[in-house]
Amino acid sequence: MPETFFPEKFADISETKPSHTSVPHIDPAFCATTRAYGALGENGPIAQMSIERRALLPDDVAIDILYCGVCHSDIHMVRGEWGEQRYPMVPGHEFVGRVTAVGQAVTRFSPGDYAGVGCMVDSCCTCANCEAGLEQYCTAGATLTYASPDPRGDAQTQGGYSERIVVRERFVVKVPDGADLATTAPLLCSGVTTFSPMQHWRLGSGQGFAVIGLGGLGHMALKLAVHRGAEATVFTTSEDKVQDAYDMGAKDVVVWHPEASNPIPLADELAKQFDFMLSTIPFPFDLAPFLPMVRQDGAFVNVGAPGIIGGVTGAGLWDQRRSLVGSCIGGMPETQDLVDYCCANAIRPQIELIRPDQITDAYLRVENKQVRYRFVIDLASNRAG
């Protein structure tokens, strides 16, 4: 049976009533018909299409999207790997753009500002988690940026592979003046998803850190951990990423072979070495070779595979009082903190800029572990005048 990403959120949102009943505010500068790039089915290419954006509510922000990252989650979703989907689906949940119009109640943005949007565009905003700035854990279920029923409109949400979007102000972050926009986009998902667990489990200077999988999330995790002063080790299945990992600040790099009977050569030498291990592996995997590497009171954090993680034994956890935990993106205050922090400290993803007509090929390259290290779609140069 296929796993469904956040199944309870889909179920709950369909029951949610619009939180605003006031008359929509339509700014003359805002054009609802929007060029977008999406999938018509799970096997099809990412094709150009037109979608309609809803009119602005008083606390909405309209954004002309300039750059949008390609996350492996987009591929899982388009391919139906996380459960049955509705099409057309316009993916994209890490993007930046320019504000073109704001509703009357918006206080933080004005037309002309640069802004970013991540994986969520709405939540109940009243439960304890939302009040704590943990909207991703909203008890009613957050509205995802795409493929979620939209409590503010009739349709399902459509994401950032498009030229315009309307988003509730709370779910829009400010992009600092002077920030490079293309390399800011991936911070909205890959950045905050790896930053949030480091904050929560307090990854600190001098601690042993390991990231498994050097892709979009993994290379951001490496850069963030190095910046915090952690001693970082990279586990990669790709021999040709070894030098890059060192260049990004890794202290050690281990090439491993998931399918082999002995997947990690010299694993015994790594026993109890890491305070914090982060897996970004997109698919089910076997934890058995990694768990012994977690040090006393350390944590193995999964942000990758939503499916089965095998090889866990009770004794493997009670030995060294290890924690096996997971983490989901980041809340809105934390997302703003991360964007500010990366811009202030020049922590940038390594990106490959692509045109919209290259997205289909880009998906194949991500699946083949060939991206270095995040594709970003240039929607700015493609924009109609």
Residue 250 interacts with which of ligand NAP, Zn ion, none, CB < 5 to 8 Å by class: none
Determine if 327 is a binding residue for Zn ion (CB under 5 A): no
State which residue, 256 or 341, has the beta carbon closest to ligand NAP.
256
Q: How does DSSP classify residue 258?
A: T
State which residue, 132 or 325, has the beta carbon closest to ligand NAP.
325
**Least distance between ligand NAP and beta carbon 161 (Å):** 15
Q: How does DSSP classify residue 187?
A: G
Which tokens sit at 196? 């949030």
**Least distance between Zn ion and beta carbon 288 (Å):** 27
Query: Distance between CA 64 and CA 383 in Å, rounded?
Result: 9
Comparing C-alpha atoms, which of 326, 382, 384, 377 is closest to residue 353? 377
State which residue, 73 or 143, has the beta carbon closest to Zn ion.
73
Determine if 189 is a binding residue for Zn ion (CB under 5 A): yes
Residue 216 interacts with which of ligand NAP, Zn ion, none, CB < 5 to 8 Å by class: ligand NAP
Determine if 221 is a binding residue for Zn ion (CB under 5 A): no
Strands (E), the chain: 33-39, 46-52, 60-69, 95-102, 114-117, 120-122, 143-144, 164-168, 172-174, 208-212, 231-236, 252-255, 274-279, 285-286, 294-302, 309-310, 323-326, 351-354, 374-378
Residue 194 interacts with which of ligand NAP, Zn ion, none, CB < 5 to 8 Å by class: none
Amino acid code (one letter) for 83 = G
The residue at minimum Cβ distance from ligand NAP is: 215
State which residue, 9 or 76, has the beta carbon closest to ligand NAP.
76
Amino acid code (one letter) for 1 = M
**Least distance between ligand NAP and beta carbon 236 (Å):** 3
State which residue, 66 or 281, has the beta carbon closest to ligand NAP.
281
Place of tokens 């400010």: 174
Question: What is the maximum span of the chain, computed from C-alpha positions, in angstroms?
Answer: 65
**Least distance between ligand NAP and beta carbon 309 (Å):** 12
**Least distance between ligand NAP and beta carbon 110 (Å):** 30
Kindly identify the residues of this chain, within the stretch 72-91, that bind Zn ion according to CB under 5 A.
73
State which residue, 303 or 343, has the beta carbon closest to ligand NAP.
303
Determine if 71 is a binding residue for Zn ion (CB under 5 A): yes
State which residue, 34 or 190, has the beta carbon closest to ligand NAP.
190
Place of tokens 């640069």: 114
Determine if 144 is a binding residue for Zn ion (CB under 5 A): no
β-pairing, 33-39 vs 46-52, is: antiparallel
Residue 118 interacts with which of Zn ion, ligand NAP, none, CB < 5 to 8 Å by class: none
Comparing C-alpha atoms, which of 138, 139, 227 is closest to residue 191? 227
**Least distance between ligand NAP and beta carbon 171 (Å):** 15
Residue 72 interacts with which of Zn ion, ligand NAP, none, CB < 5 to 8 Å by class: ligand NAP
Residue 67 interacts with which of Zn ion, ligand NAP, none, CB < 5 to 8 Å by class: none
Query: Distance between CA 162 and CA 147 in Å, rounded?
Result: 14
Amino acid code (one letter) for 303 = V
**Least distance between Zn ion and beta carbon 249 (Å):** 23
Query: Distance between CA 353 and CA 182 in Å, rounded?
Result: 8
Tell me whether residue 112 is exposed, middle or buried, using C-beta atoms within 10 angstroms of its C-beta: 0 to 12, 13 to 18, 19 or more.
exposed
Amino acid code (one letter) for 381 = S
Residue 274 CA, distance from chain mean position:
24
Which tokens sit at 370? 């060939």
State which residue, 182 or 253, has the beta carbon closest to Zn ion.
182
Residues near ligand NAP (CB under 6 A) are 71-73, 76, 189-190, 193, 213-218, 236-238, 241, 258, 280-283, 285, 303-304, 328-329, 366, 369, 371
**Least distance between Zn ion and beta carbon 329 (Å):** 7
Which tokens sit at 261? 């009977």
Query: Distance between CA 207 and CA 220 in Å, rounded?
Result: 17
Residue 218 interacts with which of Zn ion, ligand NAP, none, CB < 5 to 8 Å by class: ligand NAP
State which residue, 213 or 316, has the beta carbon closest to ligand NAP.
213
Interface positions with Zn ion (CB under 5 A) = 71, 73, 189
